[in-house]
Structure 1
Amino acid sequence: MASEPAESVEFFENRIRPVLVEHCYECHAADADEIGGSLLLDSSDAMLTGGDSGPAIQPGEVESSPLVLAIRYESTEMPPTGKLPDSVIRDFEEWIAAGATDPRDTPPAASVPREKIDIEEGRQFWAFQPLSFTEPEIEPYEGSRGPIDQFLGQRLQESGVSPNAQSSDELRLRRLAFDLTGLPPSIELQQRWMADPSWENWERIVDEMLDSQGFAEHWARHWMDVARYADSNGSDFNATFHEAWRYRDYLVRSFASDRPFDQMIRQQIAGDQLPFETDEQRHDNLVATTFLMLGTKMLSERDKTKLELDVVDEQIDTIGRAFLGLTLGCARCHDHKFDPVPTTDYYALAGIFKSTVTLKGESQRYVSTWNRVSLPTTEEHRAAVREYEAATKSLKSDIAEAEKSLKDAEAGTSDVQLGIVIDDTQATKTGTWKESTYTKGFIGKGYVHDDNSQKGKTTIQFSAEVPDDGKYEVRVAYSANTNRASKVPVTIETSDGTQTVTINQQKNDIAPFWTTLGTFEFSSSSPAVVTLSNRETNGYVIADAVQFLSADDLHKLNHPDQDDASKAKRARIEAAQSHLAALKTQLKELTAQKPPPLPQAMAPTDRATPKISDSPVHIRGEVNNHGQVVPRGFLQVCSSGEAAIPNPRGSGRLDLADWLTDPDHPLVARVFVNRVWMHLMGEGLVRTVDNFGERGERPSHPELLDYLATQFVRGGWHLKPLLRDIVNSAAYHRASDYNAASSDADPENRLWWRMHRRRLPAESIRDAMLAATGTLSRTPLFDPMKSHGVLVSGNDGNSTEGKITGIATPCRSIYLPIVRGFLSPMMTALDAADPDLLVGRRPTTNVPGQALVLLNAPEINQWANTTADRVMRDAEDFEARLNLVYQLCLQRLPTEDDKQLAKTFFTDDRQSPEAWQQWVAALFAGTEFRLLD
């Protein structure tokens, strides 16, 4: 199930209302046969009014809410059928603590059926109307630089509001650099701009930034917020997402190449089903679908049907918010309360994702894991991996045998070393013999058995060349057990002819594994052959080895010379140790040359054709409460024709991708260009960037929004031209200064008479500090979770491996791993995106904790030290150092007030590295550093 803030309507609709409906309404709703305790729980007012015992809840006061005490079983026990799961109780506690948001205004009337959603009426809402392309009808006003300014200027003129003048040259460049690249402008760029602050030079700098690596990284990070990107699962089982970084890098490549956004949508929804001409295209198509996999999941849920439905819900909710600007999750349980989205539309989409494989297999018992797909690679790479795996397997087998030989030598089992020993691996077999190492205590790598089958058709022949004519005692080795054959025929070919004996493999004559067949005459001119058969046997026949012992061997065995035996044992041990060490060295050298693993993506696939199907409505969102089956399809209100897919291609994801990227779709382009406007201008034209529905805000300039969306689609869904148009507008260059008259007329700046003052993203604040030190590495980090195993939760201060790359690493912030449950306190304090949520617009808080972090974080103090060292090294006198530190930290030269303040701080005896470190630290913690004017 999707994660939502506890104060949101979606949290109530997904976590609270379904529980009330299922467990409480039977006795506490208006249509109940008998209302228990005069308490109604089917509306907000009813819960606050309460029943015989007073209000059911006290918003913000968990411990004072009788409902909580009841479901905890601390007062009355509700529901009486059984205590709710702890996770559900926690949901109610979080909901009440966050203020108990409840959109149910009035209780439903028991006798009046609920009105059905009118789709045609819903299509009259502004967001579901087709895009309308309108050229501005007024003459350009003074300072206008194109249609954007004309649209804004028309409203400003109508309202009688005067826009601010252009901001200073220094501030405009800083604004542009952070907006387009997330990084401060270099000193060289500052100087080049200040030498020529013309529009022509501005446009050249814009183009340079749009072509830079920094641009791709910064705008990829914006979309990662929407994609709820993380490098681990979080939740109950914090499994490592070893392959998520490939999706991050796909985004960087996409924004660098200005990949059309409609193509990105198609790749992220159904890339595995798209055609391709090259391995690179196939790679990106597959990796892009990681978008569907990134949400946190309750992997240890034992009810796998419920888990599947929860994952589908998270995917539908993400697609709804990310591309449509709609909250769809609540339609899992009931028709949407505000927007024209019936439950059947939800399950039309659910059929698509239920026909898609997201989770596959288990990482351990009951713990699901996700689907993985092989990525293209070269045949040379595949061959290298095959050869490495075969060589490793062989060496490990040899090492295991060598370790056993060493153990035998240390235990003194010298009878194995005497005489001539023929192992089963050297024998000639007929019929089927199964290799085994199940019963410990064997010669060589293992032993074989006849699987107690094919009786009379299976033999194994051991053949040896004896050095001298004479008598030899013949022994056979096998592991004895009660399920072994009791009469195994054994044929011995001697110089006197062939002899046959039988042995009972349920026991051994000589521990641990030998049985004597007898003493026989052999000639050096012909082989000594021993053959075991399973003819007429009544159990498993085991064959391990055969040993031929001469009279001299037997004498040594029965009358060992202590000195000779000790020397021989030492020699055997040393030889075994030397052999084992050599094998281990070979394995170490082989491991050092290990080829990279075959690349994989965490990516979905379609289910097998017989398992692809439409979904039934799950009444009230309950897994086993099925209603009508709904054909796979889309939202009716956004579809001009039939919303059901006539002939779905596989799961229907490719059809969904086509529907989302239809140029006539009313929402997708609007939602995306609104996100872009928000990142550049501080607020969206629709300020609720993830909600274009009834509960969202209306656009301040609907004609401008449609103009931008239409131009975006007509121009091939390319981002860079859209960005260029916005940052080249006069509106983008306005100062953020306060103006009393304009503020009185438009206090929320809905007319854009000034630029919104914004806080830099957490990543930009950190990267700007590293840029000031001169140590910021522009080299991407790949595979950041390589050192982690299946879980990251064991990452702690006592471990020596698998530690999470910390914020002190001098790379761009986009390349730091994002591990759910182990987020950097510094980044969290500065309002980095919560990876558990889809974050279209980051919250901006101003709390004491931020100042404390900026002043006391050891990493920030170290960066201030390094910056101070750079200033002391690169500039010789006080004025030059002061200029340099302001250019590095604030991207401007110091004002007269700054110089005066500095002179009072830097006395003659305080122009030391420590003093400069304190000055830099103060700038880092200052408002101007982390805000964008």
Structure 2
Amino acid sequence: MAKLSKTSLLKILFAAGFLFVSPSWGADKADENWWSLQAIQKPLVPQSANQKWIHNSIDAFVLAKLKENQLTPSSQADRRTLIRRLSYDLTGLPPSSAEVKAYVEDQTPDAYENVVNRLLASPHYGERWARHWLDVVHYGESHGFEYNQPRNNSWPYRNWVIRALNDDLPYDRFVQMQIAGDVIAPGSADGLIAVACLVTGPHNTTRPNNDTMRKTMRQDEIEDLVGMVGQTFLGLTVNCARCHDHKFDPVSQQDYYALAAALAGVNPGDRELKGLTRGDDVAALKKLREQENVWLKEIAAVEKPVRERLLKEADKSEQKNTPPQPTAAWNFTNDLTDAQDKLPVTLKGTAKQTPEGLVLNGKGWAVTAPLPYAVAEKTLEVWVKLKDLKQRGGGAITLQNNSGGVFDSIVYGEREAKRWMAGSNGFVRTKSFGGTEETEAEQQAVHFAAVYRADGSITGYRNGKLYGKAYTTGFHRYPANDAHFAFGIRHGTALGSNRMLTGTITGARFYNRALNANEVAASAGLGTITITKAQLTEALTADQLETRRQATSQLVGVRKDISALLAKGPQADKVYTVLARNPGVTQVLNRGNVRNPIGPVAPAGLPALKTINANFGLADNAPDAQRRAKLAEWITHPDNPLFARVMANRIWHYHFGAGLVNTPNDFGYSGTAPSHPALLDHLATYFAQKKWSIKALHRYIVTSATYKQNSQPLPAAMRVDADNRLLWRMSPRRMTAEEMRDTMLVASGKLNRQLGGIGYRDVRAYQFKGSNFYDIIAQDKPEQFRRTIYRFSPRGAQRNLLDTFDCPDSSALAPNRASTTTPLQSLALMNNRFVLSQSDLFAERLANQTGDDITSQLRLAHELTLSRALAPNQLTLAEAFVKKHGMAAYCRVLLNTNAFLYVR
């Protein structure tokens, strides 16, 4: 037989299909009619006879697909399984024994929903879901490449992502801030920090003398950036078109360089944060605020009964109409409580509660808890003294949805100087009242009320009298648990330029109905009665005065600490972020060769998306700020079908272990087909309708019957759909490496739950011949026992336990983590130093909490690690094992079980 040449062999293999497996599409490549590029059409919800199983519309789509394949859904998981699944999915931490017990015993209809809401409100939710996002954008804390210098100032971006997710920042704003935060939020630390997303990738700091090599290195970085932006926000591998038209998707080389031009001004480096405002929710500040409230309540306990007696005496001397009964009422000269005891107020930023009222200096505001009831017709009332009549746009009292995107507010001076208005999102419910200019609010508190009726009419009243004329626009209803009140801010959940009010709010009221003119007048008259500080002091007894003096002294000390903390500004002096530079004119490079430019190209989007205009209307030499602002606007355009589809699929992917499109970063020809196309568009539509609230989409998904299924394999279903693409059960998943480490710390009782800050290090950094190396060190200090997301994470550094369990290196995008099974994993769980030390600490905790009784120790151990009771037959075996090998060894065995490692 003649010997085959390498070329002949390759031809034979290629022809046989061994070197290329084509996608399962009928066409050779995608064109502009590709499914993911088409406008999202709201699909009809399938009808089903099995209405008992369906919890929401998600289930109708899943059930229809199962029926097509002669499959049925699995039954609901038991309560212990559900709360463990929910807790890990939403916070990355196990439920406590008390939380499990409370849910198992709670037989109220909304028990499950209450758990969901509690977990979504937990600050640990942001830590869990930020980890997913940091994988997607390949966040790392060193440059990579040969020198691999550390990025000591990159961590503020990680903290910003955590906080943005906890605050449920609308996804469109979340993305806009990460593309052009420094442009759209100038002067804010948040804007400067958020845009660090664009420089999370590797950065080659080797600078050769050869000009061609330097230019090529720059083009390599631009390709990585275009790839990250294209895949993260659009689900398209645009970077594949650098040297030629995309082989499979309708993205030309010209399109690649147009998108590259939009990002050509991005350079990495450190920038100062000093003097910039921020909306950081620091744990230390939260603790000080709690202490502040303790002393405020003690002062209020002394003053309130005396003040109320004086008010009654003053009220008897005046003839008044009977005032209406408010749904909620706040007298800020007393305290922060609601008179109806339903909506207490929490201070934010620099806001203070004093005997004068709620004092606002333009850098603080206050919020209530979510309203437990729905709001339709309503009346908002506020008594406010302005610090400056020239201020423009601050909100006195605001009713807004929990993301701050939809709101109704009493606003001063925004559209018309020195005039009041009823503010609203996008001014959709705002017109001029035509009222007179404000002249008195600088000297004394004035009353303003806005009455909203179902016919769309809005009426303003100042000091109980009609303010200008009523007008009619639109009407908005706020559902229960999805709205709250804010004071001192027009809308939103963070500081923002002219949205903030400067002055003092003495009181506010809310009526869950529309008051008539007489009722407003009566309410205004009641609100004008005030008790001066001198009158109150004169009426207090000697003992009351001494109690107040001591509490006031403590309050002053706490407020000094708050002022000192706020004066520090951001937690970091610097942040590794975008250093904008003159982008110049981007050239299309023939075959990607920097020495062979073809011609200039202006910054633009992708023409393949026919639903939105790809033309940014910019010249090829436009400045960086204009380019990125236009790019952010184009990507987040409501008519961009990829924007909603990609993120809805990403969230589904992290809940179910696989997306409806199982290639989260590739919605093109080389990606997988959606298993449930109609469901994906339904989720994308729902996401947009909920004003891009990520938490709303979570809530929708986890309250479905699809999510609540048990994970037991069914032989008949396995034969048809072994990969569970049709969602006939909940697929079990192994914990991520970070979840595993964090849970071990929870079990040992050593988890440091500190939020934010600079993070911890478990490596020793050193240099050798100009390159940086990172060696693992022992983790035995409390600051190293924080959640793993706060770990300093240099590229290419060994991480032992984390590496073994597929924690990805940040040198590449990781939208879909690998899940391997290797002998090293079992060896690591038995012999790793961290596992051994945590097992010892776990055993100590069991002994400390239960004493010497082995049975009690074993039962507690199972509750802490597995969220379930120890079975009688297991108890006998476990006791024998402990007597022979010790409790620490048994703890290590528990940490090696599938029951511990897998979330079902």
Tell me the TM-score normalised to structure 1 length. 0.60
Share of identical aligned residues, percent? 32
Please point out which of 834, 840, 858 is paired with 2:815: 840
Deviations along 1:536-556, whole A, 9 cap, x unmatched? xxxxxxxxxxxxxxxxxxxxx
Corresponding residue for 2:193?
287
Deviations along 1:647-673, whole A, 9 cap, x unmatched? 266231111111110111111211111
Corresponding residue for 1:583?
none
Corresponding residue for 1:373?
271
SS at 1:667 equivalent? helix
Do the aligned partners of residues 351 and 148 (structure 1) sit closer, same or farther apart at CA in structure 2, a change above 3 Å counting? Answer: same
SS at 2:599 equivalent? strand
Corresponding residue for 1:448?
none
1:631 and 1:722 map into 2 onto residues whose CA distance is: 37
Gaps of 5+ in 1: 1-37, 60-98, 106-116, 359-369, 380-593
Do the aligned partners of residues 606 and 160 (structure 1) sit closer, same or farther apart at CA in structure 2, a change above 3 Å counting? Answer: same
Matched letter for residue 263 of structure 2: F
* 2:604 is the counterpart of 1:633: yes
Corresponding residue for 2:577?
603
* 2:735 is the counterpart of 1:735: no
Instruction: Judge conservation of contact 2:273–2:570 (CA < 8 Å) in 1.
Output: no
Deviations along 1:149-183, whole A, 9 cap, x unmatched? 11111112232212111112111111000000000
Deviations along 1:312-369, whole A, 9 cap, x unmatched? 1110011111111111222101111111111110011121222x141xxxxxxxxxxx
1:326-365 alignment runs, 5 A limit = 326-354=236-264, 356-358=265-267
- 1:145 is displaced (CA, Å) by 0.4
Matched letter for residue 294 of structure 1: T
Please point out which of 171, 184, 199 is paired with 2:81: 171
Instruction: Judge conservation of contact 1:240–1:790 (CA < 8 Å) in 2.
Output: no
SS at 2:192 equivalent? helix
Please point out which of 151, 154, 162 is paired with 2:72: 162
Do the aligned partners of residues 624 and 47 (structure 1) sit closer, same or farther apart at CA in structure 2, a change above 3 Å counting? Answer: farther
Deviations along 1:280-303, whole A, 9 cap, x unmatched? xx1111111111111112220423
1:739 and 1:597 map into 2 onto residues whose CA distance is: 52
Corresponding residue for 2:788?
813
Instruction: Judge conservation of contact 1:141–1:153 (CA < 8 Å) in 2.
Output: no
Instruction: Judge conservation of contact 2:796–2:809 (CA < 8 Å) in 1.
Output: no
- 1:46 is displaced (CA, Å) by 6.1
Please point out which of 120, 133, 136 is paired with 2:42: 133
Instruction: Judge conservation of contact 1:689–1:840 (CA < 8 Å) in 2.
Output: yes
Corresponding residue for 2:623?
650
> Which segment is superposed worse, 840-849 or 327-336?
327-336
1:86-165 alignment runs, 5 A limit = 122-139=31-48, 141-165=51-75
Matched letter for residue 146 of structure 1: N
1:295 and 1:865 map into 2 onto residues whose CA distance is: 39
Corresponding residue for 1:230?
140
- 1:197 is displaced (CA, Å) by 5.3
Deviations along 1:79-108, whole A, 9 cap, x unmatched? xxxxxxxxxxxxxxxxxxxx9976899xxx
Do the aligned partners of residues 297 and 796 (structure 1) sit closer, same or farther apart at CA in structure 2, a change above 3 Å counting? Answer: closer
Corresponding residue for 1:682?
657
1:582-601 alignment runs, 5 A limit = 599-601=573-575
Please point out which of 852, 867, 881 is paired with 2:857: 881
Corresponding residue for 1:709?
684
Corresponding residue for 2:895?
924
Instruction: Judge conservation of contact 1:244–1:602 (CA < 8 Å) in 2.
Output: yes
1:664 and 1:596 map into 2 onto residues whose CA distance is: 36
Deviations along 1:822-858, whole A, 9 cap, x unmatched? 2311100011122111111100000001111111001
- 1:794 is displaced (CA, Å) by 4.6
1:262 and 1:100 map into 2 onto residues whose CA distance is: 43
Matched letter for residue 601 of structure 1: V
- 1:306 is displaced (CA, Å) by 1.5
SS at 2:895 equivalent? helix
Please point out which of 204, 219, 227 is paired with 1:317: 227
* 2:151 is the counterpart of 1:180: no
2:256 and 2:724 map into 1 onto residues whose CA distance is: 37
- 1:781 is displaced (CA, Å) by 5.8
Please point out which of 747, 753, 759 is paired with 2:734: 759
Instruction: Judge conservation of contact 2:774–2:797 (CA < 8 Å) in 1.
Output: no
> Which segment is superposed worse, 172-181 or 645-654?
645-654
- 1:239 is displaced (CA, Å) by 1.0
Count the aligned residue pairs.
Answer: 595
- 1:632 is displaced (CA, Å) by 1.6
Do the aligned partners of residues 347 and 841 (structure 1) sit closer, same or farther apart at CA in structure 2, a change above 3 Å counting? Answer: same
Corresponding residue for 1:112?
none
Instruction: Judge conservation of contact 1:247–1:288 (CA < 8 Å) in 2.
Output: yes
Deviations along 1:247-272, whole A, 9 cap, x unmatched? 00000110110001111111111111
Instruction: Judge conservation of contact 1:377–1:599 (CA < 8 Å) in 2.
Output: no
Instruction: Judge conservation of contact 2:274–2:569 (CA < 8 Å) in 1.
Output: no
Corresponding residue for 2:479?
none
Please point out which of 158, 166, 175 is paired with 1:265: 175
Instruction: Judge conservation of contact 2:664–2:816 (CA < 8 Å) in 1.
Output: yes
Where do 4+ consecutive residues of structure 1 move more than 4 Å? 99-105, 594-598, 784-799, 803-808
Deviations along 1:612-663, whole A, 9 cap, x unmatched? 32x2221111111111322221111124354232126623111111111011
2:765 and 2:570 map into 1 onto residues whose CA distance is: 16
1:461-476 alignment runs, 5 A limit = none
Instruction: Judge conservation of contact 1:805–1:816 (CA < 8 Å) in 2.
Output: no
Matched letter for residue 668 of structure 2: G
Do the aligned partners of residues 327 and 771 (structure 1) sit closer, same or farther apart at CA in structure 2, a change above 3 Å counting? Answer: same
1:195 and 1:311 map into 2 onto residues whose CA distance is: 55
Please point out which of 135, 145, 165 is paired with 1:255: 165
Deviations along 1:187-217, whole A, 9 cap, x unmatched? 1101111212554111111111101111010
Instruction: Judge conservation of contact 1:267–1:274 (CA < 8 Å) in 2.
Output: yes
SS at 1:738 equivalent? coil
Corresponding residue for 1:300?
206
Do the aligned partners of residues 269 and 741 (structure 1) sit closer, same or farther apart at CA in structure 2, a change above 3 Å counting? Answer: same
2:52 and 2:260 map into 1 onto residues whose CA distance is: 53
- 1:606 is displaced (CA, Å) by 3.6
2:895 and 2:219 map into 1 onto residues whose CA distance is: 47
Matched letter for residue 710 of structure 1: T
- 1:783 is displaced (CA, Å) by 2.9
1:731 and 1:262 map into 2 onto residues whose CA distance is: 27
Matched letter for residue 859 of structure 2: N
Corresponding residue for 2:391?
none
Corresponding residue for 2:10?
48
Instruction: Judge conservation of contact 1:239–1:790 (CA < 8 Å) in 2.
Output: no
Please point out which of 673, 678, 683 is paired with 2:648: 673
SS at 2:641 equivalent? coil
Instruction: Judge conservation of contact 1:316–1:329 (CA < 8 Å) in 2.
Output: yes
1:143 and 1:827 map into 2 onto residues whose CA distance is: 39
Corresponding residue for 1:891?
867
1:739 and 1:190 map into 2 onto residues whose CA distance is: 27
Do the aligned partners of residues 742 and 199 (structure 1) sit closer, same or farther apart at CA in structure 2, a change above 3 Å counting? Answer: farther
2:34 and 2:653 map into 1 onto residues whose CA distance is: 22
1:296 and 1:103 map into 2 onto residues whose CA distance is: 31
Do the aligned partners of residues 597 and 663 (structure 1) sit closer, same or farther apart at CA in structure 2, a change above 3 Å counting? Answer: closer
Tell me the TM-score normalised to structure 2 length. 0.62
1:356-435 alignment runs, 5 A limit = 356-358=265-267, 370-377=268-275
* 2:603 is the counterpart of 1:619: no
Matched letter for residue 847 of structure 1: T
